[in-house]
Structure formats: structure tokens, C-alpha cells
Structure 1
């Protein structure tokens, strides 16, 4: 009995209870309550209520709740990364840029032809990916978490995979620019001059403008 309770608690940590209802909700249908109103498409989902999708006029009933907006891209439901990453770890999911904002797809979009690079395909539906991510959508990562193949794969923001994923993608790249070691990462850029004992200082390499010699008084040649 104790082991079953522990398993349920671990499942709640790995997969939030609202994730599956959000993926299966009916989006972009006319709201049954505000059907006579304009722009009453159901494109919002409440993470606290975990019910069905609702329109913008229903937002008043979810004033203090966690609500995300579902959008449409290529006839598929998407969500902005900046909105969903506040609640779950969305690492290992392929991101796309639509209208200047990063988005990810809610459900899988399988394709018949698999690319030549097996490293850049979804582990669940085998869709071609742009980056070395692992999954093409939230639903595919959910299947990956449920399969239990990777113990570090989780949706929890407290998980270790999210930290290691950020470390791998924010790793400091070192290079040499004019003999100076430079450290650059995704968050900030800073130049750190690390010179060996025998290396001349940076000041000695600067090209200062040469001083012009003042022209003296001309002297006439003797007869």
C-alpha cells in the first residue's frame, strides 16, 4: 500500500495532472456560453481547473488561476514557450519561431518519410527535427516520460534534466581573438584576458597615431 502511494506521488511530480487534459481539450471551437458574441473561440486552458478550453470572455472566472493561451500554426495547436515553461520543464522538445516568438506543438505530427539523420528525429513519432532535441511535441515527451526509459526525463521544474540540459546548451565556448582567451555564453559575453607570462601586454599592441615631425625653418643654400 505504501509503495503504491509513493508511485502516485512520483507520477504527479513527473507528469502534472493537467497536462493530458490540456493536450486533449477542444480548441478553436465556438464557446457554448458566448456563442452569440464575436471572437468567442475557445483558445484558453486553465491549469488549475483542468477542464475544457474556454474563450476570452470566460477569463473572468479564472482570474486568480494559471491560464495559458493556445495558438494556431499550420493547422496545429501550439503554445508559446515563455508561457508554458513557467509551469513545466519543456527541455528536449523542438522549438520553432513564429512571429518572433518561440513556440512548441502540443501534439505529435507524424510524417511518412524519416530523415537520414537518426539523431534528429522524434523518439516517439519519428518526425524530422531541426535540433538534437528528442521530441517534436509535448505529447511525445509525455509518452517518453511514461515509458520510463530515462529516469532523468521529467516535466518537473525541480528535475535534474532541466539543469543539465541548460548546462549543455549554455556551455562556455572558448576561443582566441588576437591571442586573447575569450569566454562567451548564451546569457552574457565577457572578455577575459588570460595572458601567459611571456606574452606582451595589450597596450604594446595598440597602434597609436605617429606624431608628425614639425617642419623646420628653410635655409637657403650657400653660393
Structure 2
């Protein structure tokens, strides 16, 4: 009996608490606090667990908080892969190209073609994947569903943020300065 609560707290550390409310939010609605033309809720404050507009983030209490910016891709909400990797493990989620940057979808994108149980589909929603050898899920919500369905603790789909921070190495300093004496061949 005493071991089961320890396992639950371990799993809670692997899955961010803000993730389920984040996936259930509706974005791109007008901001109720700042009713300015074309001012939409395009950002999500992780610390406050609420959507925000550009004015809420720049003026309000969200100024020093962790904020994710939400984009539209094929009429679905997506977030940049690079910004999401800071908060959760995004491995095994298929990225998409949008404006020359990699994005991942919050919820499954529309199905293209017939759904099948063949290899090369998302394990949860059976949407086709471009590279089934690298990816198992088409969106963040599919990976969350897989996490909630898993029964054992082997190879969890989420990693704690603290483990990722310790693995990162600081940037290396430049070998030589940008400016200084030109290094050219002498004129003879």
C-alpha cells in the first residue's frame, strides 16, 4: 500500500500538471480584457494556466511567466517544437513544417484518406504518419492519451523538465574574437 502512492507521485512528475487544461483550451477567441480589433488569445501562460493575448503578456502579470505561443496550421492549433521541448518530452510526436519551422499539433489534424490499422499510423487516432519508424503519435493529445493508458513504468512517454535541464550543456565560448587584427597573408 505504501509503494503505490510513491509510484503515483513519480508519474505526476513525468507528466506536467498544466498539460491537460492546456489541451482543452480554445484559442483564437477575442480577449475579454482587451477588446481591441483582431486581438485574439494566441498565447498560453503556463504559470497561471490560462490563455492570454499579446497585451495581457506585455502589460499584465504574465510578463515574467513561461508563455507558449499558439499558431494555426491547417485550421488546427499548433506550437513550435523548439518552444514545447523546453516543457515536455516531444519525442515520438510527428512534427510538421509551417513557415520553415517545425511545429507539433495540440490535437489530431484532420484525417487524410481512409483510416487503417496498418503500420505507419498514430497509435491512438490511427492518422497516417509520414515516418512511422521515428514517430508514434500525430499530436500532443495522442501522446497524453497513450500516457494515461500505459500500465507499466517502463519507458515513460514524458520526462521531467529537471532531467532535461541537467543534461543540457552550456554554450561553448567563441574561439577567437569577432573583431581584431585581420589575419591575412603579407603583401610582398
TM-score (norm 2): 0.76
**Distance apart, 1:46 and its partner CA:** 1.1
The Cα offsets for residues 46-70 of structure 1, whole Å up to 9 and x where unpaired, read as 111113x111110032122111001
Aligned residue number for residue 20 of structure 1: 20
Unaligned runs of 5+ in 2: 165-188
2:53 counterpart residue number: 55
CA shift digits 1:95-147 (9 cap, x unpaired): 1111110001001235361258x221000000001012000000000011111
For residue 2 of structure 1, report the CA deviation from its aligned partner. Answer: 3.5
8 Å contact from structure 1 (residues 14, 145) kept in 2: no
**Aligned counterpart, 2:6:** 6
1:154 Cα deviation from its structure 2 partner: 2.3
Q: How does 1:55-134 map to 2 (within 5 A)?
A: 55-59=53-57, 60-109=60-109, 111=111, 113-114=114-115, 118-132=118-132, 133-134=135-136
> Equivalents in 2 of 1:98, 1:68: separation in Å?
16
Structure 1 residue aligned with 2:156, among 153, 156, 159?
Answer: 153
SS of match in other structure, 1:63: helix
| Greater C-alpha radius of gyration | 1
CA contact (8 A) 2:87 2:161 kept: no
Quick one: which of 138, 141, 164 aligns to 2:140? 138
Q: Relative contact order (alpha carbons < 8 A, sep ≥ 6): 1 or 2 greater?
A: 2
How many residue pairs match? The answer is 158
- Runs (5+) with no aligned partner, structure 1: 163-223
Relative to structure 1, is the Cα distance of residues 10 and 26 closer, same or farther in structure 2, using a 3 angstrom cutoff?
same
Q: Secondary structure at the match of 2:69?
A: strand
Q: Where does residue 46 of structure 1 map in the other structure?
A: 45
State how 1:204-215 maps to structure 2 within 5 Å.
none
Range moving further from structure 2, 151-160 or 65-74 = 151-160
